[in-house]
Structure 1
């Protein structure tokens, strides 16, 4: 077999070098990229969202390829601004955050000032999250003052006053109003005259000064009608209407409200937004064109390879000689194998019996672990859910250390259950690494955010440093990577008091598409004794633990070592008592520019109008019913809850729903059988299993029953609504 491998290797090498071709992609200079970003901004000002998005994506691809961080930040700002103009505010926030990450890499205060001000506008006036929005305004104000940008200081102060007035905190907003009144003649102009007068009208109206309030509102309306600031004019009519209504002048209040509605209808012309749908179609056509070009290139290479037929014939003769030698070797080895097989057969029979007994015991162990995890996850869902409900309904408890401790303890217990399941899966060889596109920086920062409570508990600071040479998008198993880093960082935080934990990620080398990343987790905690360093990666081992400590089960580092084994990697350890600990490991991830381009091109514009979504929840546990209902209704969905599968079948005869959330383990009739009966009735509503069972255990039966997706309790509400949105969209497109 060894000789055959050599021959096949020779054939593969000849074919590879004969057919290799260099794909050429147009590269843009810095000047050309700047021209693209300027052009995208111009189309945005003209409300041509289709062209602006199209050119912004081209500029973004070119910026990433050229490692032009500034232009990449500008491109993300323009994409975010397009979404903001089209009232897609969540997407706008996402891309402003991306642009802010690039602005931080360039240390450009002008970009930071601009992005923070725009985020303040969205959070205050679109999301109505004023506290968060005002914080962004204050950051923008800090950068503006640092740059001595007095015009921007004036605008940001105006926005802060407006935000405070909007929520009735006139005394907090008054210092900013006082500032803009003082410097209005110097820095104000026609574009903000409407807003300045309107804010004065709101303040004087609050103070009961009717003459000044009426005069200010009328001046705002006058300037608005004379200029182009239609949006500010509409708000002036609205605030004047509120003021007149408060005074009891209902007729004039109604007239001003009517003028506000007329301007709003003019501003939000749906035809402009619908044009942007064409962008997705054009991008798909570009992908098809690139695929056709690739196929044509391959065909040309195949034609060229035919000219090498003489070499192939000669090589074939060499292969034939190798095959004759191989046959002779196989004949000699066959006689030896016959003798060895007789001995091995008896041994194999004995091993087979032992293997069957071991497998039977292993199945029983897996079933036990699965049952225990299900029984633990169900009450944990209640604890986590009720904690979140308390935080949502009683904002005054947001800073309560008791509630934070409760939430942390529940999540800690959930993490413990997941650790036990993880060890069980690895030992049963049930983990297969996935190949997904991800951003290393995003995953590291998500881990940092998840462990913020633990860091705060021990008065620690988590510092993240990521090599800027690492490509933005890599391909690999991001979930397993996050688990490795999560276990190492949480371990460091537990054994460090009033110190620092560093997460460093550096690009160590590149081989073809493989980018080898070196991860280093370092702390200045208590350290590990040399004698204990060999055994800390064993299961259930905890060194240096006192009777009063609460430091887990000792599975974390064992999971880290076994998961790194799946990546063909290992972890190294450097530590000394009193000086801290350093863990290092290297993982190779693939980098594929075509996949990166695909992600950027797949930025979709959702033009669907806001609709009411009806959700049917099938759940027998009363606590879980309350939590799930609260979660659903918090997203402004309509929710109906039933206790069992028969009740679900009965209500589906009377009402229509957009999606069904189905518990699996229920009395009378379980979730699988309920789903089968629903499908037999010809009802095609998307069904999502909401269960405490491990996903891998029920996936096969869930799919055969007709369930569309599975979410494990306790679940992330953002993930739930994303899955619901996707399933409803697919259901409507099929219909």
Structure 2
């Protein structure tokens, strides 16, 4: 039986080696590369970005092998378009420029048109560098005019109009607006019509023609609602609100501004959802990016190495087969042990990878919490307070206040309170100002109620401060454990004890609840304990869970303390 298996393996090796030699000699055809490129584009349109990246990278390698500038430019354009769809605009910007470098060496005006237009979009709407964006839009217009693509001409002139109007250069944008008004019925779509009506409204608002501006703004909003064009509709409400505010219609201006904020929030939620769906492939996308960056620079080296390998392949295959005859027998004897070791190793690697992913996600969340809380407190809250003070000063100087001012004052006060509460929820002010121990004492007090009471005790001086990042991580770990106690324990009494022990922080959490089988700790996903263990491992600490059914739960955590970094100031000696 073993003899037959060896013969089969040898035959497969011979066949594989022969096919490898032929495959290495084979140069892809232009038709094959085009087929792979088209498949990458189709996958991108279907939203399968990861698969599209794989096909694009494959197409790029084959195109470089053919030294076909047109195919190389097309591959880079598809890679950039994928990043564009994932809102990774810096990466999209980088690859659009690489694609344009190769496209400019060709006669493919269609591709040059698209790349210039996409670069114009990124410059204008993402980087806010309008002059560069307008330059690329005009280049796109040259190519679309040369290929006589009427629909693309209308589309590019619409972008130019929008760019000029966005920076207040209405006279520069007017010739393009007139052209679109004349030709959009034949070559435009619902999105073009919505945007066009808005642009007409903006122009007549600039010309102080109230009647025409009102007509076009209302028509833009109506068509946007009918065609479900959220992006253009949100801009229409925004520009219409500015028009109404300019003409003293504050009530309707506020109404349209609210609609703009609502639709913009929906669009932002959709974008965040798209990013969340794409987050799972971000690591692989970064890997694809690195490999894409290497393809062009490494190709010549690989081509030279490949030629050398081809000359040695047949000799190597013969030697390898002879060696394999001997190794195959040894492999057969040790295979069972190797399989077992491999399984254990793979399990450890997966566990470590999962832990690293959890920690990376948690660190990112905590950093974002801190940034958002700081921004809300230092910027938004301050602006709302300033607006409230101005309103208060106005109402103090004027005996009678209008209903709109009273409502505005109330809305500002409510917004200020909500921003303050959200800021404190993201990053408790006690933690930032007074430290970990005051914040934990306050946390226990807030979580206590008539059903479950939390006791807090600590042998550490309340004024003791650790590293800011360390305090934040410990606080959120304990908060998560206390939340678990509230949600799952059905306890009446719980206790949190903290003390220092030789540069370690000992944390002890106990409750008299229903408990659980702690031997199944690794499968208790619903309690979030796996994520807590990953956080503690990241801090080089340990966690012990001791619990039995109907006997309560005790969780002990020991973490090495990260102290505040001391600032060493230079000492200058007098001469």
Structure 1 or 2: larger helix share?
A: 2
TM-score range, shorter chain: 0.3 to 0.5
Q: Compute the TM-score of the two structures, normalised by the length of structure 1.
A: 0.37
